[in-house]
Amino acid sequence: MHYDLDTLDDYLRGELDTARDAAVHAHLETCEPCRRAYDEAASVRDWVRTAAAAEELAFPSLIKARVWEEIRSAPPSPFAWLRTGWRPWLALPVAAALVIVGYLEVPALHGGTPAGITASDLLLEHSAQMADNPLADHGAVVRASTFDAGPAAVPLIEAVDSTSIADPTGDGR
């Protein structure tokens, strides 16, 4: 098995994934025809780089200085004032749009109530779901919000939903 020239060129440029790169590298160490093709491709690449470097000319510094001088001394175009003159006219509508969006997005700025779900809404929804659930435990709920402080138990939470707690003793605890 021999690799084609496209695969060898990709290997030469380092464009193969690591597994394929390692396989081509191992093959080149054992296969003389592929090694010759690889060496030819590498010599052509080196020759092209050398020829391109030889033809590359440095831009003379005097010409560069004159070009920059001409650019700096050139009169402004007739439409240059549009670039600088329109900045305030463009910034004002953009700022107004941002203020309007901020006003509409934050209801507290204009006295509206923020949209959302309150905790009581969630509790009502939960109790409605639990009432519809045939597998839910509908037995008596024992309050866990008391502790023994002597002869009488003192409740930690005073507000209790009387519909969900059955008071078997009738004394209000």
What pLDDT is attached to residue 169?
58
Least confident among 24-28, 41-45, 146-150, 165-169: 146-150
- Res. 154: pLDDT tops 60: no
* Cα–Cα dist 154/145, whole Å: 9
What pLDDT is attached to residue 62?
85
| Sequence-distant (≥ 6) Cβ neighbours of residue 147 within 8 angstroms | 153, 154, 156
- Res. 171: pLDDT tops 70: no
| Sequence-distant (≥ 6) Cβ neighbours of residue 21 within 8 angstroms | 11, 14
- pLDDT bucket at 142, cuts 50 / 70 / 90: very low
When pLDDT is averaged across residues 95-102 and rounded to a whole number, the result is 84
pLDDT in tens, 40-86: 999 999 999 888 888 877 778 888 889 899 988 888 777 766 666 66
Q: What is the CATH number of domain 1-74?
A: 1.10.10
What pLDDT is attached to residue 145?
47
What pLDDT is attached to residue 55?
80
First-to-last C-alpha distance (Å) of the chain: 90
Task: Point out which residues pair with 148 in neighbouring strands.
Answer: 153
Average pLDDT, the chain: 75
- Res. 5: pLDDT tops 80: yes
* Cα–Cα dist 13/10, whole Å: 5
